[in-house]
Chain A
Amino acid sequence: MALLGHTLLLLALAITLYGIGASVYGARARRRDWVDSGRRAVYALAGVTMTAFVLVEIAFQRNDFAFNIVTQTSSTTLSTFYKLTAPWSSQAGSLLLWVMLLSFWSSLVLFLTRRRLREIAPYATAVLMGFAAFFDSLACFAANPFATSSPAPTQGAGLDPLLQHPTMMFHPPMLYSGYTLMAIPFAFAIGALISGRLGSDWIRDTRRFALAAWLFLGTGIVLGALWSYTELGWGGYWGWDAVENAALMPFLCITAFIHSIQIQEKRGMLKVWNVSLILLSGTLAIFGTFLVRSGVLDSIHAFGASTLGVPFVCLLGVMILGSIGLVLYRRPALRAENRIDSLVSREAVFLFQNLVLVAMVFVIFWVTMFPLISEAVTGTKVSVGPPAFTPFVVPLALVLVALAGIGPIISWRRVTAANLRRNFTFPVASAAVVLILVLALAHASSKPLAIAMWTLGSFVIATVLQEFYRGTSARRAMTKDAWPVALGGLVRRNRRRHGGYLVHLGISVLLIGVAASSSFQHSHDVVLKPGQSTTVDGYRFAYVRPTEAALAAKISFGAVLRVTKGRSYVTTLHTTRGYYPSTDNSTGVIGRFFAGAADSTVGLDAGLTRNLWAVTSVNPTPLSGYINQGDKYFADYLTAIMPKLSKLPHAEQNLVLDRYYAYRDEAVAGIARRFLTHTWPVEFLIIVAPLVTWIWGGALVVVIGGLIALWPVPVLARWRSAAVYRARLARELA
């Protein structure tokens, strides 16, 4: 199977090279048959890479430890669910996933545009195949998912416990889908620049893929934040980690593009800006992949130092220089057809919003790369954390939220003072009420940035509600429908607009949650014995009893905490610290069960207004004496029985060994049980934070809004709409 898999990767590489050649030749020689052949090469690439990926999955499910990738990231005790996700926890598997997703999305877009963009598509195909060739080469020669070892081990190292979390099933595929979908607008932009076909049709066809990239990437980012909050044991959801930032930057860039493209569609403006945004987004997507693969920056996500950095730098260099060169070459054809009529117009707001988003990208890039820059200049790698980002990003985020509220309630091209008054009254009044309430009830005067975010977030929410209300009222006036039917009709008639409104609403709710939870959380590090308690933000956390569970795959030490407020019972939290067996036998027969990777299970009570979060870090050091005794006893026992064992028949050998392992497991369980019978003080991190749930709820609203905006209009509805407007214009046309 390894030979078959590696052959498929080499075949995929040959297909990519053919696809590049056929597409470029077909475009230059105006040979449709060669162009079609190049497109079919993309379909074939999708089939071959999917087959290769299925082979990897089969190897995992069969516990085929001849494969290095299976040995490194799986084990016989891993559940089927996590065996499915384990392939992309490794460098080699994730590279294969990247190629597979790229070929899948490329196939889809080229199929959908097979009758259009005749002059652009071949060059876009060549660019996409170029990306595929790059990543497939890495998979073939630098990080081969089909590399094997002989003799094959009988057991694997297992999956990193931190990755054994449901969100990890979806986080990497979502992120990679976002990255690979960003390659599509990039490729079509390059195709448009090379061919000189810079009209609006290619933008229209690829805009949907840019929106899909935005949606997948955003979902991946939120899933990562959720994983961080519920799994990593530090109580936070965003740490400005280098790889987090690497996903955020293209997300912000493509957000800018999704807005500014509307200006180009309506007014023929910002052509250079839009094509530059697409090229920058695609480059940042590759840059994000580079940060994860190369390990140049310290990150919990990075695969560690690798040899992949140099090829990625070369690819990025080609993308950046090529993009700049093409934009400069085609600059005359990208002249704007109109100018902005007024600084108080939706166009102006979108433009300002774009500038803010790009400024955020610049700030995040600069601070993220500062450790590398400082190392290059001074020889010392300076580490940066959240305090380096927040002074710049938070004010920009506030401006962004304000613009998210202003944009929907002013019109294109022109605005009058009377209209401004009419449209701003309710949102401004709502924001003012929230501000007063917050100052009066939340004692928030010491947190001006949080207050500002809540105020502006409320402004946006009120704006969106006003838009939906007025739009539905207007529709009801025409159709006499009931409110729900009129609302549905309103959204169906303009999915982009109203999907976008929902996204604005969701982002505001999310940022209100971020502001509240980061500014008003109370956290406490404490050491407790059973029966002792501590108070955090008015909640009393009492350590009721220790817990323990010893399984072959994991030993867990935990604690039950009873939470009360005043005299009222609130909830019971159970938090554990789990230890996985180490594969390093030098840590001892018994000791290795307490010396492997560790993870935390968070005790969490999530509510609409506040979260109670607790984690324990039980240290098994007090058990060292018993562990050492056990190691010596079992080592001596094994030494004593080995000479006799080799003389026994095979079946009896297995019986003896089975008894030995059962005896050993009993000893491990007995030692672990001492945590219950002879317990010791353990350390807890306890956090009470408000409105954390608003972050996830807001993200869900964003996803729904994105799906609505992305949903294709049924063909019949599109024809009907076109017919309505054609009829309206028929008189003038005559």
Chain B
Amino acid sequence: MTYVIVLLVLFIVVFVITAPLRRGTDDAPGSDSGGVPDPSPELLELEAARDAKYREIRDAELDHQTGKLSDEDYQAVDSTLRAEAIEILRRLDSLTGRRS
């Protein structure tokens, strides 16, 4: 009985592990991705940078609302952050525009 269970487990393990090898080629979208092309590393990096920049803008907003930044400082910081965010969004748009 033990040997039967071991063989069964072995079969399941081999079946699971070799599924991608039996399915796809190296150029195909990842077999674990549902056939959808994976985003490029550059796109992911820009998206991470965009999210971080949004967080910074939100933090600056909250800092201003809670009195950590004066009106003048907030305007200066906010302008800088928005300019940086715009640059990231432009690069994202050009990347996604090129892909489409």
Contact = CB atoms under 8 A, between A and B. Distances in A.
A115 B39 contact: yes
Interface string B1-36: 010011001101100111111011111111111001
A409 B86 contact: no
A414 B62 contact: no
Nearest to B54: A725
B9 A118 contact: no
B37 to A, nearest CB: 9
Contact of A201 (B32, B36, B45): B45
A730 to B, nearest CB: 9
Given A33-B25, A34-B21, A419-B68, A114 B33 contact: yes
A522 interface: no
Contacts of B36: 115
Interface stretch (A40-48, A553-561, A586-594): A40-48
A266 B53 CA distance: 7
A133 B68 CA distance: 51
Contact of B65 (A18, A43, A470, A721): A470
Which 4 pairs from chain A and chain B are nearest by CB?
A474-B65, A36-B20, A470-B66, A199-B45
A421 to B, nearest CB: 10
Contacts of B23: 33
Contacts of A15: 13, 17
Nearest to A198: B45
Contact of B62 (A204, A471, A721): A471
Interface string A26-61: 000111111111011101100110010000000000
B11 to A, nearest CB: 11
B48 interface: yes
B82 A729 contact: yes
B62 to A, nearest CB: 6
B44 A116 contact: yes
B86 A729 contact: yes
B41 A197 contact: yes
Given A266-B56, A416-B73, A497-B59, A4 B5 contact: yes
A11 B58 contact: no
Contacts of B54: 721-722, 725
Contacts of B89: 726, 729, 733
A33 B59 contact: no
A41 B56 CA distance: 39
A44 B13 contact: yes
Interface string B53-76: 011111110110111111001000
Contacts of B73: 411, 414, 416, 419
8 contacts: A8-B6, A29-B26, A40-B19, A201-B47, A412-B60, A418-B70, A470-B66, A725-B58
B9 A48 contact: yes
Interface string A409-427: 1111111101100110000
A51 B9 contact: yes
A32 B67 contact: no
B36 to A, nearest CB: 8
